[in-house]
Amino acid sequence: MPERTDKSNNQKDAESNVQGFQEKLGPFVVAAETTRMAMVFTDAREAGNPIIFANDSFLSLTGYAREEVLGQPFNFMMAHAADAIALAQIETEFEGSSKVASEIRYRRKNGSAFWSALFVSPVRDENGHIVQYFASLVDLTTHKEEETQARRLIDELNHRVKNTLSTVQSIVRQALRFYTDPKDIRDAIESRLLALSRSHDLLARENWKSASLRDVIDDALEPFNVTDGRARRVVIKGEDIRLSPQTALALGIGFNELATNAVKYGAFSNEAGSVLVEWKTVSSPEKSRLRLHWQEKNGPPVLRPSRKGFGSRMIEQGLARELEGSVDIDYRSKGVVCTIIIPMPQSDFNE
C-alpha cells in the first residue's frame, strides 16, 4: 500500500481545479464519475503525474479508497515497479504516440494482480499546453483468461494432431510388415484409419472429455454392420461407464481388431455366428477392475492362427500395456474368447 503523503500545495491546487470543472461541466463530470470504465486525471505539470481525480469504477477495480489514491504518482499500482517494458509502454501512452492501447499488469490494494488496457489522452489549456492527462483503464482479466484458454486448446490440438500422425505412420509401417499382398496392405491401412477416425468422432461429440463404453463398442462394430441391421448378432451387456479419451481410443482400436478378425475368420464370417460383449466391475478392497469379455459363438470352427497378425498384436500387447491390464485371446474351437481386465477407469467420470 502506498504511503500517505502530505499533499503539496500544487496537488491541493490541482484537486481544487478538478473541483472547479466539476462545477462548470456538471453532466460530463457526472458521466466520468459514474461510467463503468475506470478513469483518473493526473496533473501533467508535476513529476510522476500525480492523480488528482479518480472515479468510482477506478476505486472498485483497484480496491483503494479515494484518499489513498489522490496525490499518488500514476504508476503507483504497477505490479512490477521496475518493469522497464511496461514503464516504456506507459510513457508512450502519455506521449500520445501509441497506436494501440498498452496492456499493463497492475496490482490491487489487496495484492492481487490484473491486466489492464491503458488509454491516455492529454487535456490542454487555452494556450495548448498540456495541463492534465486523462487515463482510462479497461480490465482485461477475463480477456486474458480466454486468451490463455485458447492458447491451451491450440497447444492441445497440435499435440493431438502430431500424435495422430505418428499413429498413422505406425499403422502404415505395421501393415507393410505383416502383409505382402497390396490389397491386404491397403485394407489393413484403411480399416485402421477409419477406426481411428470413428474414435475421434465419438470423442469430438463429447468435447474430448470422456466417452461411454457402450458408445465405444457400438462405434467400433458399426462399420461391420452388426450393430443395428443385424442386431441379434451382437449382444452387449453391462452397466455403462465413462472412459477417459485415451482409454476410449485404445478400446476402440481393440474392438475394431476383434471385429475385423471375426469378419475374416470368426462369428461374423458366416450367417449364423454371433458375439456376446459383456462387462462387469470386479472390486476388491485394494482396487476395482473392469473385466470385459468378447465371446464368439456359432461361427466356423476356430483354428489357432499360425502366426500373430497385426490385430492380435495390437490387442494382446498394445491394449495390455496402454491400459495397464491383462488381455488374453483364447482361440477355442467353438469361438474366440477375448478377456480384457483393466483397472477401473478413474472415477472422475463415474462418480
Enumerate binding residues for other proteins (CB under 8 A): 155, 158-163, 165-171, 173-174, 177, 244, 246, 250, 253, 313-314, 317-319, 321-322, 324
Residue 289 C-beta: closest distance to other proteins, Å: 16
- If the CB atoms of residues 106 and 310 are measured against other proteins, the closer one turns out to be 310
Residue 160 C-beta: closest distance to other proteins, Å: 7
Residue 67, CB-side half-sphere exposure with 13 Å CA sphere = 3
DSSP codes joined into one string, 86-142: HHHHHHHHHHT--SSPEEEEEE-TTS-EEEEEEEEEEEE-TTS-EEEEEEEEEE-HH
- If the CB atoms of residues 22 and 350 are measured against other proteins, the closer one turns out to be 350
- If the CB atoms of residues 157 and 204 are measured against other proteins, the closer one turns out to be 157
Residue 163 C-beta: closest distance to other proteins, Å: 4
DSSP codes joined into one string, 275-313: EEEEEEEEE-SS-EEEEEEEEEESSSPP---SS--HHHH
Residue 219 C-beta: closest distance to other proteins, Å: 17
Phi, psi of 175 (to 5 degrees): -60, -40
- If the CB atoms of residues 130 and 204 are measured against other proteins, the closer one turns out to be 204
> Crossing angle for the helix pair 245-264 and 213-221, nearest 10 degrees?
30
Cell numbers that stand for 283 in this block: 472390486
- If the CB atoms of residues 125 and 147 are measured against other proteins, the closer one turns out to be 147
Helix (H) or strand (E) holding 211: strand 211-212
Residue 169 C-beta: closest distance to other proteins, Å: 5
Residue 238 C-beta: closest distance to other proteins, Å: 23
Q: Which residues contact 206 (CB under 8 A, 6 or more apart)?
A: none
Instruction: Say whether 274 sits in a helix, a strand or coil.
Output: strand
Residue 216 C-beta: closest distance to other proteins, Å: 15
Q: Which residues contact 313 (CB under 8 A, 6 or more apart)?
A: 174
- If the CB atoms of residues 190 and 228 are measured against other proteins, the closer one turns out to be 190
- If the CB atoms of residues 43 and 316 are measured against other proteins, the closer one turns out to be 316
d(CA 70, CA 333): 90
Q: How far out from the chain centre does Cα 268 lie?
A: 40
